[in-house]
Structures are given as C-alpha cells and as structure tokens.
Amino acid sequence: MTRIRWLALGAWLLGVGAHLLIFTLPTRPAGDAEWYSALASFKVIAFLLTRLPLWVACLCMLALAACRIRREHD
C-alpha cells in the first residue's frame, strides 16, 4: 500500500512538473501590449495562482478516495 502512495505522489509531481514546463515554454505575445506575458516569472506566478490549486484539489481528491477505499476494506 505504501508503494502505491509513493507511486501516486510521484505521478502527481510529474504531472505538475510537466504542466509547469509546458505552461512556461517560451512563446511570443500576439502584440506589444502583452509583452509582460512572455516573461517566465509572470508565467510561473500565473501557474501558481491558476493551475496549481487545481492540482492540489486533485491530490486532495485522491487522498479522499484512498481514505474511503481503506475504510471499506476494513
């Protein structure tokens, strides 16, 4: 059971890392008005504020599902 937890946590961290990498890959803004959106620090802040809470919610739902499965097993 412990291996499954570590595997799930590792997969979660890999997903977050891949999502952050894809989100922060260098792209050119459409116009000069959005020059700040090309900055890596801006992209990381946007990721932390918009995407990371969804990943944390996903991790919490996995923990809740594991708790319910464990409770039904006992």
Q: What are 19-36's pLDDT values in tens digits? A: 888 887 777 666 666 777
pLDDT at 30: 64
Whether the model pTM is above 0.75 = no
Q: Compute the distance between CA of residue 19 and CA of residue 47 in angstroms, rounded to an integer.
A: 9
pLDDT at 40: 78
> Taking the CA of residue 65 as centre, how many other CA atoms within 13 Å lie in the half-sphere pointing to its CB?
8
pLDDT above 70: percentage of residues in the chain: 88
